[in-house]
Each structure stands twice: as C-alpha cells, then as structure tokens.
Amino acid sequence: MGVYAETSIEIICETEESAKKVKKAIIKAKTEAKEEDEFNYNYANLNLAKGDTVVYLDKSSGRIQNLKYQCNKLWTIIKDIKGVEEMNCPFMSETDGTYYSNEE
C-alpha cells in the first residue's frame, strides 16, 4: 500500500510566450499518450492567466514515489523549451503522523 501525495506545480518562465509553449507541450503530451504509457498524463487545473509567465497544474497519486516519477517525466517534457526557468513541485502527503496527550 502506498502513501497518497499531491502537488500544485508551478512552472516559471521568462516570458508569456514561453509559458504558452509549456502549456501547449503539456496538452500535446497528454493527447498523444497511449493508454499503455507508463506516464500518467492526467492533471487538474492547467492554468495560465493572460499576461502571466507561470503555468500552474495539480497532480496527485496514491503512491508518493509515483508522483515524484510523474514530476520527473513532466520536467523532461518541458525543460528544453526556451525560457523555462524552473519547476516547483511541493509535495503534501498523507502519513501516519503522531498523537500526543497529557492524559495517563
């Protein structure tokens, strides 16, 4: 059984044109993906506001290791687009956690 994790990805670009190319590349990768591909191109909330240089999208997985793999694959799709500066993928994960009590 895996640990669920999700991320809200920010892809920071130099210009709005670069950001548009990133968004198009992500959409193209999803539409060209075959069902048997090991990379899950599903995402939620792919956004780029007019005049913005940051592309936003959300991804999640039932296994934190798979989400990291998904982010690595996404980076390989966009890293060579001129004007891409960085991609931030902060993970939020569900874990066992801890419990504290003053009661005996």
CATH of the domain at 11: 3.30.70.920
Would you say residue 40 lies in a domain? yes
Would you say residue 45 lies in a domain? yes
**Spatial contact of 48 and 20, defined as CB atoms under 8 Å apart:** yes
Report how far apart, in Å, the C-alpha atoms of 52 and of each of 43, 61, 81 are. 20, 28, 17
Full pLDDT tens readout for the chain, 104 residues = 688 889 999 999 999 999 999 999 999 988 887 766 666 667 888 998 888 999 999 998 888 888 898 899 999 999 999 999 999 999 988 776 666 657 76
Would you say residue 75 lies in a domain? yes
The domain tally of the chain equals 1
Would you say residue 57 lies in a domain? yes
pTM over 0.85: no
Would you say residue 100 lies in a domain? no
Domain extent, residue 62, equals 5-90
Would you say residue 80 lies in a domain? yes
Would you say residue 98 lies in a domain? no
